[in-house]
Structure 1
Amino acid sequence: MKKFLYLLTLVAAVSSCTDNFEDLNTNPYQISNESLQQDFNHVGAYYPSMLAQIFGNQVDHNLTNASYAQHLAQPTVFVQNVNNTTYYITWNGYWNRQYNNIMAPAKQVIDIAEADGYTMFAEWANLIRIISMSRATTFYGPVIYTQYGNEGPGVYDSEPTLYAAFFSDLDRIIAEFSANTDYTGLSAFDATYGGDVSQWAKFANSLRLRLAMRISKVDPALAKTQGEKALADPVGLIETNGDNMNIFLYGNKFHPAQICFEWNDTRMSATMESILVGYQDPRIHAFFDPVSDLSLVADHPDWPYKGIRNGAFLVAKDDHTPFSTIDIDFNDPAKVTSRKLLSADEVHFIKAEAALRGWAGAGDAQTNYENGVKASFELWGAGGVDAYLADNASLPIDYDDPVETGDVNDFVNQITNTIAWDEAASDEIKLEKIITQKWIASYTNEMEAWVDFRRTGYPKLPPVYQNSSNADWGVVPTGEFIKRMPFINGERQNNPSGVADATAKLGGPDEINTRLWWDTGGPNF
C-alpha cells in the first residue's frame, strides 16, 4: 500500500512543476511521467485505495447496516441512547465516503485510462463504481450515477434508471473482460485476483445475479431476464470459495475488530444468539467468542454465547461489555487479511431462490440451498454440516437479557422454520429457509442481509426494543423496521433541487420509513 501512495505522491510532484522550471532544472533522479506509465502506475495506483473504501467505517457499517441486519449490536450509550440504532439518525456518512473516495477517483482514473487507450483499466474502474453505487442505493434509493461528473448540481437517477444502467454497464464490462482474459496489466494492483481478468468477469457476472434477485419482486420480468443472462453466461459464477471476491486489508486491522476490542463499541447481537444457539450452529465458534461469566448464559450453558438486543435499553456501557465479542482472530491482521464482498454461499442461495422463481438455468432449489450452507461451513472452517442440514427439529430460542430485570430487552423467537429442506413445503417456507441461512452466511457483509430482510421479510427479526424515531427523520411505527437512510444534509443544503427531484423519484417523503423501489412490502410469490 505504501508503494501505491508513494507513486501517487510522485505523480503530484511531477505535475506541479512549471514548464519553465522543467526546461531549466531537469532533476536526473526524478521519476518521469514516461516511467510511471511503463507499468501502468499512473492509473493502477488508484485501485487499492478505492476498493478499501467499499465497506466504510464504524458509522457507515457498525451503526447502520450491521445493526439493521441485526448481526452485531452495541453496548455503548451513544447520545443518551438516541441514535441510528434506535432509529434517530445521528450519523449518515456513507454517501460522502463513496463519492469522495470512490466515485471521484474513479472518474479521474477513467479519464486517464481512456485518454491513454487503457480500456481494461477504465472498465475495471467502472466495475468498482457499480460496486459502490449498488451499495449506496441500498441506503438512500436514488443516487447520482449516470450523470456523475457533469457540470452543475448532481442529477439523481431514479432506481429503475439506476438498475437499468448497472445492467447495461455490466454488459459492456463483462464483454470487455471476456475478450481479454490474457491481459496482465492489472496484476500489480489487484490483491483480490492477482490480475486474473477471467475471475473479475466471473465476479461481475455474479454481481449481475445479485442485482437481478434484488429487483425480483418489483420488476420480475427484468429480474428474470438479467438473472438468466448471468446463469447462462459462459464466464461463470462464483461457486467455490476459491473464487470469492474479497477486499484485502493490506495489513490493516479488520475494522469491526477495532470497534470491538479497542473501543468496546460492538458485540454479538441477541438475534445471532437466538438463531445460532437455537440451531446449534457450529459456525458460532468462528463468528464470536464465548463469555467468561457463565451466569450470563444460565439458560444455555453448553452454548456460552451472549448477545445484545438491537435498539436495546442501555444504562451504562459496562453493563453489556462482558457479552460475546466477535472472534479474537479478527483482531489479528495476520489471520484476517481480507473481507468478503461476494462469496460462493451467496451465489448458491440466490440460485436456490431463482429456482423457486422459475429462472432457467438455476438448477434444483434444494441442491443450491444445501450447497450454500456447505460453502459457508467450509469458508468458516466449521464441521458437522451434514448433521446440521438434516436437523428438522431445532429452532431459534427466546432471548433474555440477564442484566435487566423483567422483560426489558427480552424477546420471544418468531421463527418456526427448521433447517432441513422439506420438498413438500410451500415456496414461502422454502424461501424462509433460504434467506435465514443466507442471513447467517452473510456475516461480515451485513448490507446484503439488510437488503434481503427488507425485500422478503426474512429472517423473522425482533423489532428494536427502543424506537426513538420521530418527525425529524420520519416515524417508524412500533413493531416495524427502518427502511432507508435519508439523503445527507450536505446534499440538502448544496443541491436542494437535486434532492427535491430525488425525493420525487423516491416516491415518498425523504424519511426513514419510506420503502425503496425493490422493497415492495407485497407477497414474495
Structure 2
Amino acid sequence: MKKFLYISLLLLGVSACTDDFEETNTNPYEISTESLKQDFNHVGAFYPNMLSGLFGIQIDHNLAVTSFAQHLAQPTPFVGNVNNTTYYIRWNRLWDLQYDNIMAPAKQVIEIAEADGYNIFVEWANLIKVVSISRATTYYGPMIYSNFGDEGGALYDSEPELYAAFFSDLDRIISVFSENTDYTGLSDFDASYGGDVAQWARFANSLRLQLAMRISKVDPALAKAEGEKALADPVGLMESNGDNFNLSLYGNKFHPAQICFEWNDTRMSATMESILIGYQDNRIHSFFDPVDDMSLVSDHPEWPYKGIRNGGELIAKDDHIPFSTIDISFNDPGKVTTRKVMSVDEVFFLKAEAALRGWEGAGDAQANYEAGVKASFELWGAAGADAYLADNTSLPIDYDDPVYEGAVNDFTNRITNTVAWDEGADNETKLEKIITQKWIAAYTNEMEAWVDFRRTGYPKLPLVYFNASNADWGIVPDDEWIKRMPFPNSERENNPASVADGTSKLGGPDEINTRLWWDTGGPNF
C-alpha cells in the first residue's frame, strides 16, 4: 500500500510540473548538442582520429612498405623468416584500417557537416579520403571509393576510375578551399596546419601533382593535363618546409621508435648504408645512430653505421641487434611530435621530373632537383648540402654482412650515377638522380618511395637475398621485386563477389607479382 501511494504521488508530481520539465530536468553539466555545434565539436572531433589513421602499426608499414622500399629492415626472423619481408604474406591489415578508421567516420561526418552547411568540413573530410585511398591503392590496386557505403557489398573502382575520381574530387576541394581561405572553424581540430585553409589548399594541389606523376607512364596525356593544372593553379604548391603536411602524434611516441627501441624489431637497412655512406650523405647522422661495436664497420670506420639486408637470411634475432637503430631522438615524444605525410622536397623532385617530361610551368629540372636536396638537408638539420650537390665522383658502396661468413646477405651496389647534376646527360640518367634523391628524402614515409621504385626502377635497389614467395600468394621471380599486396582475407571472406570484380579490374591474378596499372614495366621516356 505504501509503495502504491509513493508511485501515485510521484506521478502526480510529474504531471504537475510538465510545463517546465525541459528547463527543470536539463543537466547543467551536460554538453548539449547546440553547444557542441557552436564550437564545431560535433563535426571537428572526428578529424584527429581520421588523420591518425593514415599510418598503421608495425605490420601495416614497417613489415611491408618500409621493407619493400628498403629504408629499414628487421633483425627478427618472424615465422622462421618466411613473412612479408621475404615475400610470403603473413600480415595484411592496411585495407581494414583505412575503411574502419577513415572512410567510415568520414562518411558519417560528411553527412553531419552537409546537414549543417559546413562545406569546409565536408571538403576537409573528402581530402582525407583522397589521401587515404590514394595511398592504399598503391598497395592493392582496385579499391572501394566512389561506391563506398553501398548496401550489399560495394564494387571496387578500377585504378583508372580511382584516379579520375581523385582528380575530380580535388577540383572541388581546392575550389572550395581557395574561396574560403579566411575560414577559421578548423583551428581547434587541425594540429597539422592550425586551421589554415590556404595551407590545406596548397597541400591538396601538391597532392594533385603527386598523383599526376604517378600515372605519367600509363596515361601521359591525363598526367600532363593534371600536372600542368597543379603547376598553374593560383592556389600554389608547397614551397618551403613550413608548408609540409605533418601529422601530430598527440603526445604519443613515434611508432617506429617503439618497434626499434622497445621491441628490437627494426634497424637501418643495408641499402641505406650503401647509399648514404657511399654518397657521404650527412643526413645519415639524423636518420640513424652509429654502432657501438666498431668491428661491424671495419670497411668504413669513419662512417660507423651498419644496416641489415632487406629480405636477408636471418637465423637468430640477436645476430643483428647491435646494428644501427634509428636516431635516438625518435624515442623522445618531446622531440619528435609529428610524422610527415608530404614534404616540400617531394614537390621539388616532382617538378624536376615534370620538367624532364616537358610539362609547362615546371621550371628548370636542375634547379628543382637541387632545391629538393637542400630542402631535405634543411629539414633534417644536416650540413654540407652544397658540397654534396657538387660531388661527381662518390658512389654507393658494396654491402658486407659481418655476422655471417661468406657472401650471405652481401650485395654489389648497382648504382653508377653520382649526385652532381649533369646537364649534358640523357633524361634517363637525370631521372635516376631525381628519384634516388627523392627516395632518400622520403625517410619516415616510404609509401611514394615504393611507388617510384616500381614505376621507374629507381633507385637501383638490391634484390632480396631470401625469396620465400610461392604459389600461395604468387611467385616473385628471383630477378624481380614484389609488386603489390593481395586483397586481404577480410575482403575474401566478407565480400567475395566484390573481390572477384576487383580482381577482374586488376589486369592479372590477385597475387603479389601482378603489376599495378601505373607500373607499366616499360621505358621511362
Q: What residue identity is the alignment partner of 1:330?
A: F
Partner residue, 2:8: none
How many Å separate the matches in 2 of 1:345 and 1:75?
30
Partner in structure 1 of residue 485 of structure 2? 485
Residues 132-211 of structure 1 mapped to structure 2, 5 A cutoff: 132-211=132-211
- The total of aligned residue pairs comes to 505
Q: Structure 2 matches for 1:327-346, cutoff 5 A?
A: 327-346=327-346
Query: How far is 1:493 from its partner?
Result: 1.2
CA distance in 2, matches of 1:241, 1:25: 53
Aligned-pair CA distance for 1:51: 0.4
Q: Distance in 2 between matches of 1:425 and 1:215?
A: 24
Shift of residue 479 of structure 1?
1.9
- Counterpart-to-counterpart distance in 2, 1:391 and 1:26: 73
Match of 1:372 in 2: 372
What per-residue deviation string (whole Å, max 9, x for no partner) do you get for residues 325-370 of structure 1?
0000000111111011111100000000000000000000000000
Q: Who is 2:57 aligned against?
A: 57
Q: Distance in 2 between matches of 1:22 and 1:460?
A: 71
User: C-alpha deviations, 1:267-291, integer Å up to 9, x for none?
Assistant: 0000000000000000000000000
> 2 CA distance for matches of 1:398 and 1:442?
22
| TM-score for the superposition, normalised by structure 1 | 0.95
The match for 2:285 is 285
Identity %: 79
The aligned amino acid for 2:192 is T
- For the structure 1 residues 22 and 483, does the alpha-carbon distance in structure 2 shift closer, same or farther, using more than 3 Å as the test? farther
Displacement of 1:29 = 1.9
Matches within 5 A, 1:34-433: 34-433=34-433
Give the Å deviation of 1:27: 2.0
Deviations 1:49-85 (A, max 9, x none): 1101101110111000000000000000100100000
Distance 1:39 1:297 in 2: 57
Partners of 1:471 and 1:459 in 2: CA distance: 28
Look up the equivalent residue of 1:332 and give its one-letter code. D
Which amino acid letter does the alignment assign opposite residue 198 of structure 2? Answer: S
Q: Which moved more, 1:26-35 or 1:385-394?
A: 26-35
Q: Which residue of 2 aligns with 1:16?
A: none
Provide TM-score, normalisation by structure 2.
0.95
Q: Give the SS at the match of 1:102.
A: helix
> 1: distance between equivalents of 2:475 and 2:166?
32
Q: Paired residue for 2:444?
A: 444
Shift, 1:30, TM fit:
1.1
Q: Deviations over 1:75-123 (max 9, x none)?
A: 0010010000000000000001110000000001000000111111010
The CA deviation string for residues 183-234 of structure 1, in whole angstroms up to 9 with x for no partner, is 0000000011110000000000000000000000000000000000000001
Q: Distance in 2 between matches of 1:297 and 1:117?
A: 62
Q: Distance in 2 between matches of 1:72 and 1:487?
A: 24
CA distance in 2, matches of 1:403, 1:239: 45
Q: Give the C-alpha shift of residue 24 in structure 1.
A: 8.7
Aligned pairs (5 A) from 1:449-488: 449-488=449-488
SS in 2 for 1:506: coil
Residue 16 of structure 2 is matched in structure 1 by none
Name the CA distance, whole Å, in 1 between partners of 2:22 and 2:53: 36
**Separation of aligned partners in 1, 2:41 and 2:53:** 20
Tell me by how many angstroms 1:28 deviates. 2.5
SS at match of 1:188: coil
Quick one: distance in 1 between partners of 2:55 and 2:230?
25
Which amino acid in 2 is paired with 1:201? A
Give the aligned residue type for 2:199.
Q
Letter in 2 for 1:97: L
Distance 1:396 1:99 in 2: 40
Whichever residue aligns with residue 475 of structure 1, its letter is I
CA distance in 1, matches of 2:157, 2:422: 42
Q: What amino acid is the match of 2:116?
A: D
- Distance in structure 1 (CA, Å) of the matches to 2:182 and 2:115: 22
Tell me which structure has the larger Cα radius of gyration. 2
What CA RMSD, in Å, does the superposition of the two structures yield over aligned residues?
1.0
Instruction: Name the CA distance, whole Å, in 1 between partners of 2:232 and 2:386.
Output: 30
Whole-angstrom distance in 2 between the partners of 1:390 and 1:110 = 50
Provide, for residues 140-190 of structure 1, a one-character-per-residue CA deviation record: whole Å limited to 9, x for no partner.
Answer: 000000010122202100000000000000000000000000000000000
* Gapped regions of structure 1 (runs ≥ 5): 1-20
Secondary structure of residue in 1 paired with 2:188:
helix
Residue 512 (structure 1) aligns with: 512
The secondary structure found in structure 1 opposite 2:505 is: helix
Whole-Å Cα distance in 2 between the matches of residues 154 and 304 of structure 1? 52
| Distance change in 2, residues 1:497/1:22 (3 Å) | farther
